[in-house]
Structures are given as C-alpha cells and as structure tokens.
Amino acid sequence: MDNVDKMLEGWVQEQKIPGGVISITVKNRVLFHKAYGSYSDGTAERTIALDTLFDLASLTKVVSTLPAILTLAAAGKLSLKHKVRSYIPAFKHEQVTIRHLLLHSSGLPADLPVEPRSAQGRQVLNDIFKQELLAPAGTQVLYSDLGMILLGEIIARVSGEPLDQYVRRVVFEPLGMTDVGFNPSESLRQRIAATELVDGAYIIGEVHDEKSYHLGGVSGSAGLFGTAGDLSKYADLWLAPDKYGIIPAAYIQAALNEPFQNRGLGWEVLDDTQAIPYSCGTLWPRGSFGHTGFTGTSLWLDPSHDLAVVFLTNAVHSGRDNPVRHLRRQLHDEIFASLFHS
C-alpha cells in the first residue's frame, strides 16, 4: 500500500483534501487502516485519527435505510412490491413502489430547492408530497434524496420506531458498530470532523445536508455519522451475510443481481463497464458495488475479491467545489492495481 499511502499524504500536503481515514479489508482482514491530515474546529487545528467520526452524508442511504428496509421485508412486515401510498397515504403517486424508491427509478426529483439551515419550520415531507414525477415510475434512474427520505418514513411507520432507533437495534448493535449513529452526543464532539463553514462557524456534529437538518438530523437520505472501522464491519455484512443472520443472503443477492441502469437496490452497481465514470475508477470488475456521500465519503465493495474500501474525508471543509470525486477514482484504481495487478 506504499503508493496509496504516498497518494493520500500528497493530497493532504497539496491541500486537495483536509484529511481522512482509509480502511482496506480483504476477506474481512484489515490490510491497511490509516488516518491523514487535520481540520479546524474554528478555534484550533485538530488531527484526524482512526476513531474520528465523519458525517457520512448519503452513505446513510445504504448503511441505514437500505438494511432497515431489507430486514423489514425479510420479516414479512412489508414488500418491496407494495405501493408507497399503502404506507404513506398523503403521497399522491399511485404507481410508485418501495422498489422504485430503492432503485432511484420512482421519477421523483433529485432534491428540493435548498433552504438555509436557519429556515424555521420547514415541512420537508409535505414539500416532497407536492412534487410531480419527472418520468413515469420504473422507466429511468434519477438519483433522488426524496425517495430515500420517504423510505425512512416508511421504516418508522412499519417498525413503530424512529429510523435511528430501529437500525441501531437491528443492524448496528448486532454488528458491533459502536460509533455509528444519528445526532451524535455532545460528548463525541471532540472526535467529529468539522464539515463546512456556514455563517461564520464550522458545522460539527450536526448533519451537513439541509433537508436532514430540517428533519431533526434523522432521515433516510443523510444524517448518519460514523468511523471507517465501523463501516468496514458493515461491509462484511454484504460480503458474508450468512455469518451474521441480519439480512438473508437472498435479499443481499436481490439487491445486487438485477441492476437497472447501473443501480441496484440502494447501491450503485458496476454493470456496464463502459458507463464511465464510476466513483470506484476504471479497474474494478463488473459486480462491484458502492456509494458515495457529498461530504467526501465513500464505500466500495468487490465481492469477487472479498474487497472492501472505506474512504472517509470531510472534503467540504474547504468548500463544496473540491476535487474529491476525481481523486476518489484515482485512489480506487491505485488500490486495485496495488493489490491485484502487481
């Protein structure tokens, strides 16, 4: 991993990223786990450590919302074929199913108009209910935060628990993911990497995404905080589901085996290798799957090599116009080349 190490050290020195933590595992064995760089909390420069918590942003979709839905489906509490309206009657689009939301093929817009964090009383769900579909359900992939927010609401209504409580009990605690959760406590603040400078202060320990912030920090789309080590534990659930008994292997396979326009259930699935650019670069094989987060986070898995790569950064610390998307592809190519092409 010397080349990977030099690459990450160089990016920090060149101020392309403030820092980050990488964890690379093969067959659930840690090959490389290292922290880089630092960030400002507004008063002092703080070094990033292996146990630093990051705002995982849209990794929430696949680390929280997706397993919660699949466990409820496996328990017979809901069906992916069911219409969203059967759980949320205020949602007006009759044809949209839970499966459409997971595949990002509902036709819902990607986002709502951005409102500042300071906006009071925003009713995010009501705003989603007002949205028209941009395409008929099931006809095309349009990545949508809104669909994932609806799934978070469905999980709460079906399970009888808020999303954060349900997924902690059913997924995080059984996997020993002790540092992952929503709305981290004040006692963890010293360990949380600051994200963006907003209104003169860095956001620390509060979700960066405005919609999730207006939803109280818990949503199906964003809001989860966690460490690279805990995400490596979560990755193993997807590479060796029979070991844990949390999500049946059949549901794991169903999430990945029939991608539609390079999306599985929740995950981005590398299906058409010509559909570049994938966030895992150009060398990873077909069947690899992963996800990214706006703050600068990513998780990619290659089942054919039992490989999992967690790369957590707070790239938005220095602004939203950062090169992390481009850097991420370079990094994953270098990891794959170093491991399997030498």
Residue ranges covered by each domain of the chain: 2-340
Which tens digit of pLDDT belongs to each residue from 80-91?
999 999 999 999
Q: How many CB atoms lie within 10 A of CB 299?
A: 26
Q: Any idea what the Cα angle at residue 131 is, between residues 125 and 132, rounded to 5°?
A: 150
Which tens digit of pLDDT belongs to each residue from 39-69?
999 999 999 999 999 999 999 999 999 999 9
Q: Is the pLDDT of residue 147 over 80?
A: yes
Q: Rounded CA gap, 166 and 164, in Å?
A: 6
pLDDT over 90 percentage in the chain? 94
**Terminal-residue alpha carbon distance, the chain:** 11
Which tens digit of pLDDT belongs to each residue from 177-225?
999 999 999 999 999 999 999 989 999 999 999 999 999 999 999 999 9
pTM greater than 0.95 (yes/no)? yes
Q: How many CB atoms lie within 10 A of CB 219?
A: 31
Rounded to the nearest integer, the mean pLDDT of the chain is 96
C-alpha closest to that of 211 among 318, 42, 60: 60
For the stretch 329-333, contacts whose Cβ atoms lie closer than 8 Å and that sit 24 or more positions apart, written own/partner, are: 329/277, 329/278, 329/279, 329/280, 329/281, 329/282, 330/7, 330/281, 331/4, 331/7, 331/8, 331/22, 331/281, 332/279, 332/280, 332/281, 332/283, 332/284, 332/300, 333/281, 333/282, 333/283
User: In terms of DSSP bridges, do strands 268-269 and 181-182 run parallel, antiparallel, or are they unpaired?
Assistant: unpaired
Q: Rounded CA gap, 281 and 207, in Å?
A: 28
Q: Rounded CA gap, 155 and 163, in Å?
A: 6
Region of residue 335 (left: phi > 0; alpha: psi -120 to 50; beta: else): alpha
For the record, the structure tokens of 161 come out as: 């628990």
Least confident of 14-23, 47-56, 269-278: 269-278
- How would CATH label the architecture of 2-340? 3-Layer(aba) Sandwich (3.40)
Q: Rounded CA gap, 202 and 225, in Å?
A: 16
pLDDT attached to residue 175: 98
Least confident of 139-148, 183-192, 233-242, 270-279: 270-279
pLDDT attached to residue 342: 59
Q: Any idea what the Cα angle at residue 195 is, between residues 189 and 197, rounded to 5°?
A: 110
Greater model confidence, 121 or 174: 174
* Averaged pLDDT, 319-327: 93
